[in-house]
Amino acid sequence: MHLEKLLKAINDKSALIGIVGMGYVGLPLGLAFNRAGFKVVGFDIDANKINSLNQGKSYIQHIGSEKLSQAVKTGGFEATDDFSRAGEADVLLICVPTPLDKHMEPDLSYVISTIKSLAPHLRAGQYLSLESTTYPGTTEEVILPHILERGFIPGQDFFVGYSPEREDPGNPNFETKTIPKVVGGMTPNCLEVGKQLYEQAIAKVVPVSSPRAAEMTKLLENIYRAVNIGLVNELKMVADRMDIDIHEVIKAASSKPFGFKAFYPGPGLGGHCIPIDPFYLTWKAKEYGVHTRFIELAGQINNNMPQYVVEKTVSALNEKGKALKGAKILILGIAYKKNVDDMRESPALEVIELLEAKGATLDYSDPHIPAFPKTRRMYRDMTSVDLTAEVISSYDCLLLVTDHDAYDYDLLLEHANCIVDSRGVFKDHEKVVKA
């Protein structure tokens, strides 16, 4: 009875969709379901976000306010911090952060607090799915006990699944609707509900045998990237010693039509997934007596890249007869990747900390981040510097951390005293030091 009723509500789009966590994952997912014809309620604990959303104002750069405003005006989307309303929803999708703690171990505090807030208001006939990236077993070990405590039987009167988020902010070629969705369910009925639900808003759904398989799928995707980036970062350091341009090598290798995929070096990993996900698996693997040496080695290489960039900056200044202590340095780009306003786990954070610790005087310029936001790691009372010829020439060194397309690279090269390039944007030039 509960299964048929829920499936009917999903397929006739009368089901109310509740999205918990209105960030880079939850907000676009909610809008995707709204565009598919569903009413959506967004849950969040941040009052400022709630107020902004209910006014139809997006606080995420690549998510325009036009679509959000239209959804709010038509009554198809609203936001709330009242978790007692969770019982109104037929579907609850949890999209909250899963960072690492100071010991580089999984921090599931957001997931745990969320399910504890939802649990008293759950009712029979609902579907609940975790979307946050996590280690295999989280749905069973962290989410399921709260369902069972309420007396529900998964697959009969309540439905539980896991479907990892897949977002690539700033990538114009993909949006939530067009990125295939992996779905796992606690039981065959749970999987069927998840499959039919996501098919309403996502172009392609990929069912797997269990939540654990779905959780592992997400980790594989990002560990694959982390390991290959670690490899090319190591090769960059080798190539630098050999006076070889690693970007020239990557371009040449990319001409091979099979057996090679290009990955690019940088100042370190950033974003909410790649710097974090490998450590979720290495932590969980220890429970099974497995030491993930390959993954951990890549993590060590990637984590050391900000230090490498700072060392190259010291060397660049030294060549100009300038000490790092007291040097005036302009950081170009503090977002974790080009053309976005997202600073989560940005390598710029550690670069800034390292340079400050050595006595440098810092400013930053980022066209996507006008004021330095408060992050879990740090905050600085800084605003973005406008790039003019006079401003550029006033710094001892420009340090390119994030290669936004909005920069006028010719202007930078013409007026800079020194440029440290951690992204391989500039061609060989006496002013440029590759990092």
User: pLDDT digit string (tens) for 231-273?
Assistant: 999 999 999 999 999 999 999 999 999 999 999 999 998 877 7
Work out the average pLDDT over 144-150: 97
Q: Which amino acid does the sequence have at 324?
A: L
Q: How confident is the model at residue 285 (pLDDT cuts 50, 70, 90)?
A: very high
Q: Is the pLDDT of residue 49 over 80?
A: yes
Widest CA span of the chain, in angstroms? 78
Q: Report the Cα 154 to chain-centroid distance in Å.
A: 30
Q: What is the pLDDT of residue 223?
A: 95
User: pLDDT digit string (tens) for 350-389?
Assistant: 999 999 999 999 999 999 999 998 877 788 999 999 999 9
CATH classification of 304-434, choosing from 3.40.50.720, 3.20.20.80, 3.90.230.10, 3.40.120.10? 3.40.50.720
* Identified catalytic residue from 95, 190, 273, 418: 273
Q: Tell me what percent of the residues of the chain surpass a pLDDT of 70.
A: 100
Tokens for 55? Answer: 């006014």
Measure the CA–CA gap between 264 and 278, rounded to whole angstroms: 18
Would you give the DSSP letter of residue 87? Answer: G
| In contact, 77 and 34? CB cutoff 8 Å | yes
| Domain 2-209: CATH superfamily, name plus number | NAD(P)-binding Rossmann-like Domain (3.40.50.720)
Average pLDDT, the chain: 94
Q: What is the pLDDT of residue 271?
A: 75
Work out the average pLDDT over 90-99: 96
Report, in angstroms and rounded to the nearest whole number, the Rg of the chain calculated over CA atoms.
24
Q: What is the pLDDT of residue 330?
A: 98
Q: What is the pLDDT of residue 377?
A: 74
Q: Where are the domains of the chain?
A: 2-209, 304-434
Domains 2-209 and 304-434 share a fold: yes
Measure the CA–CA gap between 414 and 411, rounded to whole angstroms: 5
Active site residue 418: no
Q: What is the pLDDT of residue 117?
A: 97
